Amino acid sequence: MSCSALRNSILSTDNGVEKKILWACRRGDADALRTAAYQLVDELYTAALAVLDDDSPARLAVIATWQRTLQALMSWRFAGSLRSRALNLLARVLSQMADRQQTQQIAQTVAEAKADSLETCSAPDELVAALTSLGDRIAPTIAEARQRRKHRLRLALAGGLVVLGVLIGLSGAFYNRALVAHNPQLQFETLQRRIVAAQLRMVVQQAEMELVDPTGTQVSVREGYQRIGLVLEEIINAASLQQASRLRFVKDRIATQELIQLARRAAYQTSGKQREKLMMVVLVLEEAANL
């Protein structure tokens, strides 16, 4: 099947399909990028040819436009449809290649293309092949850019949760100190919320995973982290402060196993956000021991 026949068989104006194709393109899916190239190449080529009036520069303009479109797919935000963005980028490429007197013509041609009033012609198969080949080469880079965006987003969310946990911890501690003599149950419930909000169980698990020699010289430290994690789970899962026997058991473990000291040493041996997180664990254990 020729390139022209193939692209004619997959063209679609369904908005839902276009969104799915854009979503897949943003993920670096090579098949989706080829589909997008088939869908856009005729319009881009026709608009470029209408302005430049020459096949060779029109092809160069389309390739440059597709390169910029692929770069745009790696950005944090991609406003509008893929077709609209590609046509806007084509206008910029043409303004750099054409004469100043053709500015009006560029704007009119692109506007007609967006309004579906531009009668298109089929792009040469060689140009279609060039666009699909370019998409295939850049697809892994787009996928890597998406992974970097996800990683940065996770870091930002994690940082926001830590800040939120600190704020909740500070406000909770102040509030509890004022009411501890009158409402110990409220203090206990606030302690539970602080552990959950700051994800302190996960903080301890992360510290355990970052041990250099967890089965050798640091085996006792790993076991200490595990005991701290169990204590935090006991507190979270306790129905109320009235479960006196369970609470005494938790307090005894914190004291006899020296969990506060272990958490404090771990905090001092780290820096930055990890130290802040572990210091929150220290404060929670101290408060639990004093309930």
Return all residues near 225 (Cβ < 8 A) that are at least 6 apart: 204, 205, 207, 208, 211, 262, 266
Which pTM was predicted? 0.47
In a domain, 248, yes or no: yes
In a domain, 31, yes or no: yes
In a domain, 56, yes or no: yes
Q: Is the domain of 118 the same as that of 217?
A: no
The boundaries of the domain holding residue 135 are 3-147
In a domain, 159, yes or no: no
Closest by CA position to 281, among listed 244, 235, 217: 235
Q: Is the domain of 208 the same as that of 129?
A: no
pLDDT at 263: 83
Name the domain count of the chain. 2
Q: Is the domain of 11 the same as that of 120?
A: yes
pLDDT at 119: 85
Residues in the chain where the model's pLDDT stays below 50:
1-13, 179-181
Q: Is the domain of 8 the same as that of 106?
A: yes
CA-to-CA distance for 58 and 62, rounded, in angstroms? Answer: 6
Q: Is the domain of 18 the same as that of 68?
A: yes
pLDDT at 6: 43
Q: Is the domain of 9 the same as that of 131?
A: yes
Tokens 């419930």 belong to 189
Q: Is the domain of 142 the same as that of 7?
A: yes
pLDDT at 2: 41
Q: Is the domain of 88 the same as that of 47?
A: yes
In a domain, 163, yes or no: no
In a domain, 153, yes or no: no
pLDDT digit string, tens, across residues 234-275 = 777 776 655 555 667 777 878 888 888 888 888 788 777 778
Q: Is the domain of 192 the same as that of 134?
A: no
pLDDT at 60: 93
Q: Is the domain of 74 the same as that of 203?
A: no
In a domain, 48, yes or no: yes
Q: Is the domain of 7 the same as that of 140?
A: yes
pLDDT at 288: 78
In a domain, 96, yes or no: yes
Q: Is the domain of 136 the same as that of 234?
A: no
